[in-house]
Structure 1
Amino acid sequence: MTNWKFIYFVGIGGIGMSALARWFAANGFAVAGYDKTSTTLVQKLVEEGIPVTLEDEIESIPAEFLKEPNDTLVIYTPAVPVQHKQMHYFRDQNFLILKRSQVLGLLTKNLRTIGVAGTHGKTTTSSIVAHILRHANVNSTAFLGGITQNYGTNLLLNEPTDNLEAVFCVVEADEFDRSFLTLFPEIAIVTSTDADHLDIYGAHEAVLESFRDYVSQIDDDGVLFMRDGLGLAAATKAKVLTYSLKTGAYHSDNIRIANARFVFDLIHPDGKIEAIAMKIPGYHNIENAVAASAVALYVGVSEEKIKEALENYGGVKRRFEYQVEEEGHIYIDDYAHHPTEIEAFLSSVKGLYPGRHITAIFQPHLFSRTRDFADGFAESLSLADRLLLLEIYPARELPIEGVTSEMLIEKVTLEDKQLVAKDKVLSVLAGLNTDIVVTIGAGDIDTLVEPIKHLLHIPIVNN
Structure 2
Amino acid sequence: MDLNNIHSVYFIGIGGIGMSAIARYFNEKGVKVSGYDRTATALTKQLEEEGMKIHYSDDISLLDKDANLVVYTPAIPAAHTELNWYRDNNYEVVKRSDVLQEITRTLFAITVAGTHGKTTISTMIAHILKDSGYGCNAFLGGISVNYNKNFWSSDKQVAVIEADEYDRSFLKLSPDIAVLTAMDADHLDIYGTPEAMEEAFIQYTHNIKPNGTLIAHFGLHRDSELYAGKKLRYSLQNNAANAYAANIQMKNGGYIFDVIEQDWMIENLELHIGGMHNVENAIAAVTVAHILGIDGDKIRAAVASFKGIKRRFEYVVKNDHQVYVDDYAHHPEELKALITSAKALFPGRKTTVIFQPHLFSRTRDLVDGFAASLSLADEVILLPIYPARELPIPGVTSELIAEKMTAPVTIMQKDEVLQWLKDNKSPLLITAGAGDIDQLREPIKQIVQ
Q: TM-score, normalised by structure 1?
A: 0.94
Letter in 2 for 1:273: I
- Give secondary structure in 2 for the equivalent of 1:154: strand
Determine which of 73, 97, 118 is the counterpart of 2:69.
Answer: 73
Structure-2 residue corresponding to 1:455: 447
Please state how far the C-alpha of 1:232 moved relative to its aligned partner.
3.5
Structure-1 residue corresponding to 2:56: 54
Matched, 1:372 2:368: no
1:355-434 pair list within 5 angstroms:
355-415=348-408, 417-434=409-426
Distance 2:252 2:143 in 1: 26
Please state how far the C-alpha of 1:32 moved relative to its aligned partner.
0.9
Any conservation in 2 of the 1:220–1:237 contact (CA below 8 Å)? no
Deviating more after overlay: 186-195 vs 270-279: 270-279
Structure 1 unpaired stretches of 5+: 160-165, 459-463
The CA deviation string for residues 90-133 of structure 1, in whole angstroms up to 9 with x for no partner, is 11111111110111111221111001111100000001111111
The CA deviation string for residues 251-300 of structure 1, in whole angstroms up to 9 with x for no partner, is 00121212332221110122322222211111110110000111111110
- Give secondary structure in 1 for the equivalent of 2:255: strand
- Give secondary structure in 2 for the equivalent of 1:17: helix
Any conservation in 1 of the 2:180–2:215 contact (CA below 8 Å)? yes
Structure-2 residue corresponding to 1:200: 190
Matched, 1:167 2:157: yes
1:263-412 pair list within 5 angstroms:
263-412=256-405
Any conservation in 2 of the 1:32–1:51 contact (CA below 8 Å)? yes
- Give secondary structure in 1 for the equivalent of 2:149: coil
Distance 1:272 1:377 in 2: 37
Distance 1:85 1:304 in 2: 53
Distance 2:301 2:224 in 1: 32
Any conservation in 2 of the 1:78–1:177 contact (CA below 8 Å)? yes
Distance 2:128 2:192 in 1: 37
Any conservation in 1 of the 2:271–2:304 contact (CA below 8 Å)? yes
Matched, 1:244 2:204: no
Structure-2 residue corresponding to 1:253: 246
Any conservation in 2 of the 1:367–1:394 contact (CA below 8 Å)? yes
Structure-2 residue corresponding to 1:163: none
- Give secondary structure in 2 for the equivalent of 1:387: strand
Any conservation in 2 of the 1:215–1:235 contact (CA below 8 Å)? yes
Letter in 2 for 1:282: G
Distance 2:252 2:259 in 1: 19
Distance 1:127 1:265 in 2: 20
The CA deviation string for residues 36-61 of structure 1, in whole angstroms up to 9 with x for no partner, is 12111111111222121111111232
Please state how far the C-alpha of 1:358 moved relative to its aligned partner.
1.3
Please state how far the C-alpha of 1:424 moved relative to its aligned partner.
2.3
Determine which of 77, 83, 92 is the counterpart of 2:79.
Answer: 83
Distance 2:157 2:223 in 1: 27
Kindly, what percent of the aligned residue pairs are identical? 49
The CA deviation string for residues 356-385 of structure 1, in whole angstroms up to 9 with x for no partner, is 011111100000000000010011111111
Please state how far the C-alpha of 1:33 moved relative to its aligned partner.
1.1
Determine which of 91, 104, 111 is the counterpart of 1:115.
Answer: 111
Please state how far the C-alpha of 1:233 moved relative to its aligned partner.
4.5
Please state how far the C-alpha of 1:73 moved relative to its aligned partner.
1.0
Letter in 2 for 1:392: I
Distance 1:46 1:262 in 2: 38
Please state how far the C-alpha of 1:234 moved relative to its aligned partner.
3.5
Structure-1 residue corresponding to 2:179: 189
Deviating more after overlay: 243-252 vs 233-242: 233-242
- Give secondary structure in 2 for the equivalent of 1:276: strand
Any conservation in 2 of the 1:342–1:380 contact (CA below 8 Å)? yes
Any conservation in 1 of the 2:253–2:272 contact (CA below 8 Å)? no
- Give secondary structure in 2 for the equivalent of 1:41: helix
Distance 1:385 1:96 in 2: 53
Deviating more after overlay: 73-82 vs 333-342: 73-82
Matched, 1:97 2:93: yes
Letter in 2 for 1:222: G
Letter in 2 for 1:109: R
Distance 2:192 2:217 in 1: 24
Distance 1:378 1:173 in 2: 28
Structure-2 residue corresponding to 1:3: 5
- Give secondary structure in 2 for the equivalent of 1:49: coil
Any conservation in 2 of the 1:387–1:418 contact (CA below 8 Å)? yes
The CA deviation string for residues 174-198 of structure 1, in whole angstroms up to 9 with x for no partner, is 1111111111111111011111100
Q: How many residues are aligned here?
A: 444
Letter in 2 for 1:361: I
Any conservation in 2 of the 1:126–1:292 contact (CA below 8 Å)? yes
Alpha carbons of structure 1 residues 406 and 234: separation in structure 2 relative to 1, 3 Å: closer
Distance 1:410 1:429 in 2: 23
- Give secondary structure in 2 for the equivalent of 1:319: coil
